[in-house]
Amino acid sequence: MKNLAVYCGSSMGTDPAFAALAREFGEEMARRGIALVYGGGHRGLMGVVADAVLGAGGKAYGVIPQALVDAEVAHTGLTELHTVSNMHERKAKMTELCDAFVALPGGIGTFDELFEAWTWNALGYHAKPFALLNVSNFWDGLVDFLDHTTRSGFMSRARRDQLIVADRIGDALDRLAEAAGRREASMVW
């Protein structure tokens, strides 16, 4: 796995563990030689993870809509910044650039990006794995809901099992790298 798309909040959240995780995650990515692909902002956890990757000597590729560049939220110190027209193009470009996806704590943008990546995977548009990094039990409610969705018959066990859930950075990165190595594009019902 060379490039990892990281979805996370454009704010810091209320728990200091979120920023600490983003910093440690970025440092570990750089240590492993994994480049960051992310939304291109300098604010919140997005900025923390990008600064950590860059500060540890890694590469960070941002993908940001022009409207956010105009609002002056773009990170200006990245390895490369791709400016796109809209959020649809952003997600497509991030998918093109990465080998896998991980979601750190975040809000609706993080949810949107994660679920679109998962949907595209389920439909066979790509075979890239994805994970939740569950710091401070942030994702527990979502994981419970996804399990409820599976039990209720709206998601197959095979599709539910695609989502990697990890509590530790090393575990998330190891499991994503393993899954990326055995990926095969096909629909997962």
What is the Cα–Cα distance from 138 to 160, expressed in whole angstroms?
Answer: 18
Which pLDDT score, from 0 to 100, does residue 181 have?
A: 80
Mean pLDDT over each residue of the chain, to the nearest integer: 95
Helix-then-strand count for the chain, H and E: 8, 7
**DSSP H helical ranges for the chain:** 16-31, 44-55, 66-70, 87-97, 108-122, 140-151, 157-162, 169-181
Tell me the whole-structure pTM to 2 decimals. 0.95
Quick one: tokens of 167?
């509590």
**Residue-wise pLDDT tens digits, 102-155:** 999 999 999 999 999 999 998 889 999 999 999 999 999 999 999 999 999 999
Mean pLDDT of all residues in 21-30: 98
The 10s digit of each residue's pLDDT in 61-117 is 999 999 999 999 999 999 999 999 999 999 999 999 999 999 999 999 999 999 999
Q: How far apart are CA 182 and CA 169, in angstroms?
A: 20
